[in-house]
Amino acid sequence: MSELAEAAGAPLRLPQVIAVDGPSASGKGTLSRRLATELGYVYVDSGAMYRTLAWWAIQKNLHCEKPMSPADEEAIVGLMRRWKAEMRLVDGQAWLHVNGYFPAKEIRTDDVERSVPVVAQIGKVRDWMVARQRECVHLGPLVMEGRDIGTEVFPLAPVKFFLEADEGVRQARMAERGNAGSNAAVRDSMDTTRKQGALYAALDSIRVNNTGQTPDQTFAILMGHVRARLGTP
Which residues neighbour 193 within 8 Å (Cβ) at sequence distance 6 or greater?
A: none
Q: In the chain, what are the domains?
A: 15-227 (3.40.50.300)
Task: Using alpha carbons only, give the angle 30, 148, 224 rounded to the nearest 5 degrees.
Answer: 45
Helix axes 70-82, 46-59, angle to 10 degrees: 100
Residue 216's CB: how many other CB atoms inside 10 A? 9
Instruction: Tell me the torsion sign for CA atoms 58, 62, 65, 70.
Output: negative
Q: What is the pLDDT of residue 69?
A: 96
- Which residues share a beta bridge with 182? none
The predicted structure's pLDDT at residue 11: 52
pTM: 0.90
C-beta separation of 88 from 94 below 8 A? yes
What pLDDT tens digit does each residue of the chain (233 aa) get?
333 333 344 555 677 999 999 999 999 999 999 999 999 999 999 999 999 999 999 999 999 999 999 999 999 999 999 999 999 999 999 999 999 999 999 999 989 999 999 999 999 999 999 999 999 999 999 999 999 999 999 999 999 999 999 999 999 998 888 776 677 888 888 888 888 888 999 999 999 999 999 999 999 999 999 999 888 66
